[in-house]
Amino acid sequence: MDGPQDEFAIRVRDLVVGFGRQTVLDHLSLDVRRGEILGLVGASGGGKSVLMRTIIGLIPRRSGTIEVMGQSAGGHGRGAAMAWGILFQQGALFSSLTVRQNVQFPLRENLVLSQELMDEIAIAKLEMVGLRAEDADKYPSELSGGMTKRVALARALALDPPILFLDEPTSGLDPIAAGEFDVLIKTLQRTLELTVFMVTHDLASLTTVCDRVAALADGKIVAIGPMRQLLQSEHPWVRAYFHGKRSQMLQHEMR
Amino acid sequence: MNHEPLLLATPSGDELKLRPEGPWTAANVVTLETLSRSVGGDVDRSRVVTLDMSGVSALDTLGAWVLEKLSRRAASSGRAAEFVGVADHFSGLMDEVRQVNRHTPAPAPAPNPVLARLGDLGKSTVGAREDITVFLQMLGALFMAVIGVLRRPRSLRLTSLVYQLYRIGWQAIPIIALITFLIGAIIAQQGFFHFRRFGAESYTVDMVGILVLRELGVLIVAIMVAGRSGSAYTAELGSMKMREEIDALSTMGLDPVDVLILPRVAALVIALPILTFIGSIAALYGGGLVAQFYGDMGPAIYIARLHEAISVTHFEVGILKAPFMALVIGIVACSEGLRVKGSAESLGRQTTTSVVKSIFLVIVLDGLFAVFFASIGM
């Protein structure tokens, strides 16, 4: 099982993505190891979300290869929900379905199982992400920001996919809720043995939950490694990112 | 590595030993459900149940839950159930699953169907009263906005008004002209076809003229505008409401009625009479074409007959109704837009409501006008 191709959950090679004349990702290469939490940082509008959306097949690529779990990713056919779970920035819950139906949706579409078991699994997932069974019959418009993210996470994990993509999971949450969410992701990652690919600006989650951090600048990965290693990086953008005024405070805590 | 999950049951006296094997994952859910159901009877009969997990090659939440459910069934009514041989990398998941589904919220009591019907009836009665209130509120707010504009004419949003006029007036002309042209032609054709039997073909022109100018022109145009522009208003204002744009306006000290609604309703009130005029002319033209090619009546005779049959009064009756219909469409569309709540579904529902309600009210209003004009002898 531990062959070289199984060591990496996601392998991206020489990826080029652009819109019109603009090139967003320029011969980018990135490996995500199995079972790690990789944080991706980069400037706003610098292509972080584009990279994530290209890997999951929402944006076409110009050239390069993407392998997910050893298989070449070519769009998102049926059963994509079994390969990966995605937590969108705004949750992207289906607003016409209740919380329970949202979580059941991937189960219903991909598996044949009894309604009873489906209900139990949905409640189990909701409880695993820290919600209560009473919340199951609410509609997405009745949820707070933190709850929306939790429900979206429960839906992303409905089929126990091996890879979880998170797009700014803690944005819009207060520090306490963000901290709880970080812990939740770490716990679930350990319990379900997930590989997590996380786009984030939250320095706190980078330091606390990420095993490795990749920095994206000028369409390339300019630095990758554990947080401590990134702090030593000489790349001007990475230095500016981690040694700016806003970042200083957090690093004092780290030392 | 086996690809099918198995569940070996070994009963011995009061004891039952269960040994799940293979991949207990969501992909095999059909097999898992069958397996767990097949040992259900054995589990109920045994006093002690042991689940030997050492044969499980893969496990996910679903598989873990199915096993946990078996053990809970076994452990119910004071009997004993235990897991043995749980591999290290599954223990976290098994512990997690043991916590979930422990308490079920009391299901909401099913309502008495008769009472529920009565409740719905009562709700919709109150809802109807609320609809009237909302309509009158919007009318009042618009009236105040108009007074504000009359006091300070510069506070009128001229750019917005002109843009709305362009959108709902100018851009609507082709489709309105086409539809009314066809309606005029169809009425004329029907008239010639049926009146021919009585030798009353020449009265077709009277019918087309009076019907189009008094009723059909304005009615068709109003319905078209309600469907075309009213729905657009509702959807626009609704999505603005959803994205908190309207709240942003209010917090900046601006009245959404002044900024968004007055220009839209005013544009409708100005545009609908113009569109009605264009529509009526297109319908008369359609009737004229049919008269020439189907009714063997030349343009000169058609126009002369039209001249005799219709008067300015007929034209006035039609065109006078237009601004009132526009007001109704505008108010319904805008107030439905403001009633949109957070979800995409609610936006769709309010847009549908807006179109249905404004078409209904336009027809009711037309009926009231018919009574009114008849009683004053127009």
- The number of C-alpha atoms within 13 Å of B103 and in the hemisphere containing its C-beta is 6
Decide if B49 contacts B78 (C-beta within 8 A).
no
Q: Which residue has the higher pLDDT, A73 or B123?
A: B123
Place B35 in a pLDDT band, splitting at 50, 70 and 90: confident
Q: What average pLDDT does this structure show over B307-329?
A: 93
Cβ-defined contact of B61 to A121 (cutoff 8 Å):
yes
Cβ density class B309-346: b for 16+ within 10 Å, e for less: bbeeebbebbbbbbbbbbbbbbbbbbbbbbbbeebbeb
| Structure confidence by residue, pLDDT tens digits, A191-203 | 778 888 888 887 8
* Spatial separation of the C-alpha atoms in residues B269 and A79, rounded to whole Å: 53
User: In the structure encoding, which two tokens stand for residue B189, read together?
Assistant: 């054709």
Burial zone of B132 (CB within 10 Å; 0-12 exposed, 13-18 middle, 19+ buried): exposed
**Where does chain B hold its CATH 3.30.750.24 domain(s)?**
6-99
Least confident piece of the model among A3-17, A135-149, B175-189, B191-205: A3-17
Cβ-defined contact of B343 to A111 (cutoff 8 Å):
no
From the list A111, A113, A134, the residue facing B105 with the nearest CB is A134
Q: What is the pLDDT of residue A248?
A: 66
Q: What is the pLDDT of residue A81?
A: 60
Q: What average pLDDT does this structure show over B298-321?
A: 92
Answer whether residue B292 shows pLDDT above 50.
yes
| Structure confidence by residue, pLDDT tens digits, B82-129 | 777 777 777 777 777 777 777 776 777 777 889 889 989 999 899 889
Q: What average pLDDT does this structure show over A27-37?
A: 85
Q: What is the chain B residue with the closest CA to A131?
A: B100
Instruction: Give the residue from A78, A119, A121, A125 with the most B CB atoms within 10 Å of its CB, the best one to mutate.
Output: A121
DSSP three-state, residue A221:
strand
Instruction: Annotate A32-83 with DSSP letters as a single string.
Output: EETT-EEEEEE-TTSSHHHHHHHHTTSS--SEEEEEETTEE--S--TTHHHH
Q: What is the chain B residue with the closest CA to A107?
A: B26
| Count of CB atoms situated within 10 Å of the CB of A13 | 14
Place A1 in a pLDDT band, splitting at 50, 70 and 90: very low
Q: What average pLDDT does this structure show over A144-151?
A: 83
Mean pLDDT of chain B: 88
Q: What is the pLDDT of residue B13?
A: 73
Place B318 in a pLDDT band, splitting at 50, 70 and 90: very high
Q: To the nearest whole percent, how much of chain A has pLDDT over 90?
A: 0
| Count of CB atoms situated within 10 Å of the CB of B48 | 15
Mean pLDDT of chain A: 80
Q: What is the pLDDT of residue B66?
A: 82
Task: Tell me how far apart the terminal alpha carbons of chain A are, to the nearest angstrom.
Answer: 38
Q: What is the pLDDT of residue B232?
A: 95
Q: What is the pLDDT of residue B94?
A: 79
* Spatial separation of the C-alpha atoms in residues A86 and A64, rounded to whole Å: 22
Instruction: Annotate A82-102 with DSSP letters as a single string.
Output: HHEEEE-TT----TTS-HHHH
Cβ-defined contact of A111 to B69 (cutoff 8 Å):
no
Burial zone of B222 (CB within 10 Å; 0-12 exposed, 13-18 middle, 19+ buried): buried
Answer whether residue A76 shows pLDDT above 60.
no
Q: What is the pLDDT of residue A11?
A: 84
Query: What are A's interface residues with B at a Cβ cutoff of 8 A?
Result: 82, 95-96, 107, 110-114, 117, 120-121, 123-125, 127-128, 132-134, 139-141, 157, 159-160, 190-193
| Count of CB atoms situated within 10 Å of the CB of B194 | 12
From the list B26, B69, B343, the residue facing A160 with the nearest CB is B26
Q: What is the pLDDT of residue A2?
A: 42
| Model pTM score | 0.69
Q: How many H-runs (helices) and E-runs (strands) does chain A carry?
A: 10, 10
Q: What is the pLDDT of residue B137?
A: 92
User: In the structure encoding, which two tokens stand for residue B121, read together?
Assistant: 């009836």
Cβ-defined contact of B60 to A192 (cutoff 8 Å):
yes
H helix runs in chain B, sequence order: 29-38, 40-45, 61-75, 88-99, 113-151, 158-168, 173-195, 203-210, 217-225, 231-242, 245-251, 256, 262-293, 299-309, 312-338, 344-375
Nearest partner of B319 among B364, B270, B360, judged by Cα? B270
Answer whether residue A91 shows pLDDT above 60.
yes
Decide if B58 contacts A192 (C-beta within 8 A).
no
Answer whether residue A255 shows pLDDT above 60.
no
Strongest mean pLDDT among A146-150, B22-26, B169-173: B169-173
Place B360 in a pLDDT band, splitting at 50, 70 and 90: very high
Nearest partner of A181 among A145, A138, A140, judged by Cα? A145
Residue A253 distance to chain B (closest CA, Å): 31
Q: Looking at the domain that runs over B6-99, which CATH code has it been given? A: 3.30.750.24
Interface ipTM: 0.72
Residue A78's identity, in one-letter code, is R
From the list A82, A95, A160, the residue facing B344 with the nearest CB is A95
Q: Which domains does chain A have, with CATH numbers?
A: 4-254 (3.40.50.300)
Q: To the nearest whole percent, how much of chain B has pLDDT over 90?
A: 52
Q: What average pLDDT does this structure show over B305-333?
A: 93
Q: To the nearest whole percent, how much of chain B has pLDDT over 70?
A: 98
| Structure confidence by residue, pLDDT tens digits, B198-246 | 888 888 999 999 999 999 999 999 999 999 999 999 999 999 998 888 8
